[in-house]
Each structure stands twice: as structure tokens, then as C-alpha cells.
């Protein structure tokens, strides 16, 4: 037993990081997060999902994995999409491949730093919420470095429209820092179809259908340059995707999610 590899057992935490052309900032951001995880001693797998990058994104992850192999509590892997599929697809890929009891979804730039994780952990492990999402939209949220005014305005307008269309109560669905109990959210990700930036809305919408409690928590957030969002095209496409979620739900395309066990054929 003394020689047992702790990562052969299921890790406590999986971190899923979608990455597309992140060569310029990925190493420093990942190293900072890995240092934090090493200090905590939590058995963790880090899954970086390379979304068809043509730069050095994947080699950077592989070199970090080689350098950290002596730490038996940390496992780092790169997963590859065959081509560029989008943030939502990449996160779904990572979540479906994850093995941890808990899954943290984080942006590659860690705009919300990894040391905000304990706040979400308390909500999931002690507060009875299978999903905890970081939020920039609450009064207690700490915005260290703001986005450009036009981008903040665009984000607020999107959130207002999301709340009006879906009746979701959240002040910020798009913050890239979310913690989930893996087994409880797997059905949501298997049913999800949104492949790009509005994936968050679909998962939270499905969570409500399934009766899964979600905690929205104020986090520290700092803007990092290099956003992949096209300010002219993507907001419209995101709204189209939100409408597609509603239409898909109306047509019954989400299967048994949210249906009573008898109606879903479950005994």
C-alpha cells in the first residue's frame, strides 16, 4: 500500500480549462495555479482542452506535465479537439473526460484566481449546492481590473436579456469560474448542445430543469487582455444560442431532464 499511486484512485478535483491559442499566457497562469494546488495537497487532475490551436498551446501543457510528474497528487493532461469547435464544446469534452468528484471550470487566464476556490468549495461541500458559480455581478464582487466600458455594457445587456428570456435569476452567467459535483452534472453536459460562448446559459437552464441548486457567489476578478470574443459577431450569436435552448426545450429535445421519474421511464 505504501507504493500505491494516489492518482490511480479517483482524484478529489478535476480542473477543466478550455484553451485556444493561449501560448502567450498559458504557462505563467498554469504554473501559478499548479503551485497553489501543490500547497493544498489536494489530489487533482488538470485537463487543458486544446480547441484546435495552431500555436504552442499543447506543447506548453505537455512540458508542464513532464516537469510536475514527481508530484503524485497532481496530474496534468492535454485533450485535443480535432478542430476548433468552441468554448462550450471544449468544456463538455473536458467534463465528460474528468474523473474527479468535483469539477472546476476555469478560463485559461484565471481572471478569477485559483485561490478563490475555497469559497465555491464551501457552497458545494457544506452548503448543499451541487453547482457554485463565481459572479462579477453581485454587490460584494471585487473587480480589480475592469473591462473596457463598451465590453462591460455589452455584458450587462446580455445578462438582462438572458434573465428576461430564461427567467434564470443569476446576475452573471458568463464568469469563467464554476464548481460542480461531477456525477450530478454529467446528465446536463451529455444533453447540452451549445458549442460556443453561451454554453453557461444552457447548463444553468438545464440545472434548473433538473432541480439542481445553484449558488451564485461574489468573486475577485481581473480583466486579462486577449479575449477571444468578437465584439461585433459573438453577442448576436450568443443570443441566438439562448433562443435555441428555449426552442429545444419547448420541442422536448432535452429528454428526461426535469421530468418526473415515472414520465421519464425511471423506476
pLDDT at residue number 265:
37
Average pLDDT over residues 139-164: 88
Average pLDDT of the chain? 89
CA distance 142 to 140: 6
Task: Decide if 196 contacts 170 (C-beta within 8 A).
Answer: no
Angle at which helix 199-209 crosses helix 149-166, to 10 degrees, equals 30
CA dihedral 206, 208, 209, 210 (to 10 degrees): 90
Residue 56: band (very low, low, confident or very high) from pLDDT cuts 50, 70, 90: very high
The CATH fold of domain 8-250: Spore Coat Polysaccharide Biosynthesis Protein SpsA; Chain A (3.90.550)
Give CA 240 to chain center in angstroms: 21
Q: Angle at Cα 119 formed by Cα 61 and Cα 140, nearest 5°?
A: 115
For cell 435552448, what's the residue?
245
Burial class (CB in 10 A: 0-12, 13-18, 19+), 170: buried
Average pLDDT over residues 178-188: 98
CA distance 133 to 143: 16
Residue ranges per structural domain of the chain = 8-250
pLDDT higher than 60, residue 135: yes
Q: What is the pLDDT of residues 39-55, one digit of tens each?
A: 999 999 999 999 999 99
The residues that bridge with 82 in the sheet, in sequence order, are none
pLDDT higher than 50, residue 5: no
CA distance 242 to 253: 14
7's grid cell: 492518482
Identify the weakest region by mean pLDDT among 150-154, 172-176, 216-220. Answer: 150-154
Amino acid at each position: 500500500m505504501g507504493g500505491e499511486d494516489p492518482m490511480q484512485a479517483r482524484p478529489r478535483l478535476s480542473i477543466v480549462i478550455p484553451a485556444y491559442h493561449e501560448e502567450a499566457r498559458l504557462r505563467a497562469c498554469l504554473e501559478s495555479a499548479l503551485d497553489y494546488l501543490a500547497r493544498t495537497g489536494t489530489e487533482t487532475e488538470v485537463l487543458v482542452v486544446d480547441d484546435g490551436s495552431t500555436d504552442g498551446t499543447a506543447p506548453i501543457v505537455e512540458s508542464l506535465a513532464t516537469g510536475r510528474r514527481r508530484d503524485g497528487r497532481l496530474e496534468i493532461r492535454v485533450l485535443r479537439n480535432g478542430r476548433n469547435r468552441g468554448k462550450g464544446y471544449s468544456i463538455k469534452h473536458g467534463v465528460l473526460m474528468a474523473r474527479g468528484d468535483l469539477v472546476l471550470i476555469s478560463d485559461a487566464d484565471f481572471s478569477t484566481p485559483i485561490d478563490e476556490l475555497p469559497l465555491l468549495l464551501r457552497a458545494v461541500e457544506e452548503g448543499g449546492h451541487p453547482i457554485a458559480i463565481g459572479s462579477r455581478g453581485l454587490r460584494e464582487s471585487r473587480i480589480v481590473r475592469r473591462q473596457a466600458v463598451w465590453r462591460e455594457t455589452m455584458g450587462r445587456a446580455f445578462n438582462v436579456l438572458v434573465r428576461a428570456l430564461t427567467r434564470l435569476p443569476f446576475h452573471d452567467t458568463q464568469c469563467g469560474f464554476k464548481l460542480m459535483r461531477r456525477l450530478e452534472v454529467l446528465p446536463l453536459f451529455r444533453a447540452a448542445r451549445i458549442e460556443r460562448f453561451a454554453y453557461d446559459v444552457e447548463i444553468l437552464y438545464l440545472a434548473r430543469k433538473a432541480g439542481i441548486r445553484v449558488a451564485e457567489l461574489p468573486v475577485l476578478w481581473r480583466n486579462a487582455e486577449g479575449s477571444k470574443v468578437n465584439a461585433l459577431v459573438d453577442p448576436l450569436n450568443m443570443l441566438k444560442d439562448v433562443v435555441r435552448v428555449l426552442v429545444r426545450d419547448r420541442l422536448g429535445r432535452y429528454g428526461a431532464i426535469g421530468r418526473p421519474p415515472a414520465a421519464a421511464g425511471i423506476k
